[in-house]
Structure 1
């Protein structure tokens, strides 16, 4: 069975069933296990002199573990490969988390704040409706890249070893890839490797978001993406902002301090509501459908 056919099956399986609570209430989710491994490396290596070198060692260990586990699981056959790949894709769970913000916001502002706090790291207690909706849409666009398109891309490139390695490095970046006194040196390697692994997928995600709209402003997307603090996250965010005709990013609060980030698509509408979250969910599915269609074409070509 071709890698593309395996990937297509995993995409459909994830979209249909998502994260079965009955299973993950009894077993640790692979994302939890990955987090534990990163936490162990942080505890054991992030101390003493030479933190950058120790961080490079941690990143190499993660790559080695990802490749070894991926090879071992792939040898168990296509059913295991499809199942593991489906678990590591996050389309259905992403949509469910974003939809929860939409549902909460329709009930009350406080419910919307509580729901969006589950998917963003910024301060949410004083958010208004526009800020809640904007945060949910930004999270939707960025996580479409990190949680769906990037792992799919690396599965197509290098099978389960590539996919698992990507997820481990992405998990490390989310845990230790911060410019803080504790992690600026130790997390440097994981953060830079994550940037490299997301370089192509982030731009593919932007294209997948833009194509269904028929309005592909690549120049504007590229210009706004360059303003983002991340070399990759700005691409899907800029594409989503144009797909919805809204302004994203801008000032927001972290740990009680306002940070003046530039606007993405500053000419877009700045008053957002729950209906805009609805539209962004539709864009997530359109991008997923386009990606699945392209994978299907590759799978068909491999059978000819």
Structure 2
């Protein structure tokens, strides 16, 4: 079955690259968000246990529908199973959307407004350097959350893997905040998200370093470990090292300034050229991912003697 997962991952990635979002379809993440919102509105309590119930409830509901669809697709002809699975899986990948969103900030006049749709930090008082810095950080971090980690779980566990990963990721993005309302209620979701991103985040950082042909591939690790998240700091640091800049630093969230470490080495002042350089580098990452998936597909084809599993 893992051979089929490779074909599905390659096709799903290409679908996302070519088409991006499908405006005529309500995105599955919205439905997942609705389930999370339903539980929060009906059963919210400032309690770690209630937050754990949220996680169990959401994963149970999503798993019911996901495995029903998954088992139905397996009844189809192998080629049709792969095509339909890839179409569904592509909606849980976001490299095209991420790249386009960050590119738009580079040329837009309403940079703060666009950035506010991508990040949780306060954007009202950001200067241009802060805007470009936040754009680079959000690409690096979401390269993991929206691309590498979903592909990782798709390759290992097929369609259920990618959907359940994005369910966990969505819970964290909605309730995994350290503030008065979510400190306890969102703790289980945040810890689970940390757990499932542990390996993919480090793969993402290594990918960034390898594509840039950095001599010391693991040089991101020490600095990246300074981030309050056990995972986010690694791809951010890797990107900072590749670009020769410093990312991070004190950042305002919900009106409160939070002390954050710096990641990387170099200039603290970030300019449009840095963001442009990162976007060009992102195209190299895109080609590398495609090349890797094609290589895996060729190997899978050979191992399978030309027949779909």
* TM-score normalised according to structure 2 size: 0.89
User: Match of 1:288?
Assistant: 286
RMSD of aligned Cα (Å): 1.6
Tell me how far apart the structure 1 counterparts of residues 207 and 60 of structure 2 sit (CA, whole Å).
31
Q: Which residue of 2 aligns with 1:127?
A: 126
Equivalent position of 2:114 in the other structure? 115
Residue 70 of structure 1: aligned partner: 66
Q: Which residue matches 1:33? A: 31
Question: Where in structure 2 are there 5+ consecutive unaligned residues?
Answer: 74-80, 303-309
Matched, 1:2 2:1: no
Q: Which moved more, 1:135-144 or 1:209-218?
A: 209-218
* 2:40 paired residue number: 42
Distance 1:249 1:56 in 2: 31
- From 73, 85, 88, the equivalent of 2:89 is 85
Count of matched residue pairs: 292
Q: Distance in 1 between matches of 2:38 and 2:146?
A: 23
Q: 1:288 to 1:61 in 2, by over 3 A?
A: farther
Which of residues 270, 275, 278 is equivalent to 2:276? 278
How far off is 1:212 after superposition? 1.4
Unaligned runs of 5+ in 1: none
Q: CA deviation digits over 1:68-107, x for unaligned, max 9?
A: 3332223322222111111110010001110111011xxx
Aligned to 1:165: 164
Aligned-partner Cα distance in 1 for 2:223–2:215: 14
Kept in 1, the 8 Å contact 2:33–2:170? The answer is yes
Give the superposition deviation at 1:216. Answer: 4.3
Instruction: Report the CA distance between 1:55 and its aligned residue.
Output: 1.7
Distance 1:58 1:256 in 2: 27
* 1:251-281 CA-partner distances (Å, limit 9, x unpaired): 122233322211101x312221122112212
Taking structure 1 as the reference length, the TM-score comes to 0.91
Distance 1:8 1:179 in 2: 37
Q: Does 1:252 align with 2:254?
A: no
